[in-house]
Amino acid sequence: MKQLQTEIKEFIEQRDWQRFHSPKNLAMALSVETAELVEIFQWLTPAQSHNVSSDTLVHIEEEIGDIMIYLTTLAAAFDLDPVSAAHKKLIKNAEKYPAKDKDASKEKNAD
């Protein structure tokens, strides 16, 4: 993650783009890139969305890359680490949505 953050920071600085990168603009750009990913799947059936062409797969990968770049840049604007944020949120989600005890479920079904 640190290497990616450094590469993105250098890319931005070499082009003097940081003047455009307010958190507001970065959040908007992130939303636009996410919409570009959604557009790929628009009108596909669920089954079609599992079986995309190799060209579409390349397009999906590019949009995921765009999303990751803006997400990483937005997080950096607040000195946050996206991976750490995801770990923290998974812990919070696990508390909010506890996993069902599969063994207990089997015992109930056996009764």
Residue where the block lists tokens 């599992």: 50
| Closest separation in Å from C-beta 42 to Mg ion | 15
For Mg ion, the binding residue among 12, 21, 25, 36 (CB under 5 A) is 36
Q: Decide if residue 56 touches Mg ion (CB under 5 A).
A: no
User: Is residue 51 packed enough to be buried (19+ CB in 10 Å), middle (13-18) or exposed (0-12)?
Assistant: exposed
For Mg ion, the binding residue among 5, 12, 25, 66 (CB under 5 A) is 66
Output the residue with the shortest Cβ distance to Mg ion.
66
Euclidean distance between CA atoms 83 and 22, whole angstroms:
21
Nearer Cβ to Mg ion, position 28 or 91?
28
Please tell me the count of residues contacting Mg ion according to CB under 5 A: 4
Euclidean distance between CA atoms 55 and 66, whole angstroms:
17
| Window contacting Mg ion (CB under 5 A); options: 11-19, 30-38, 42-50, 51-59 | 30-38
Q: At how many degrees (to 10) do helices 82-96 and 54-77 cross?
A: 100
**Residues interacting with Mg ion, by CB under 5 A?**
33, 36, 63, 66
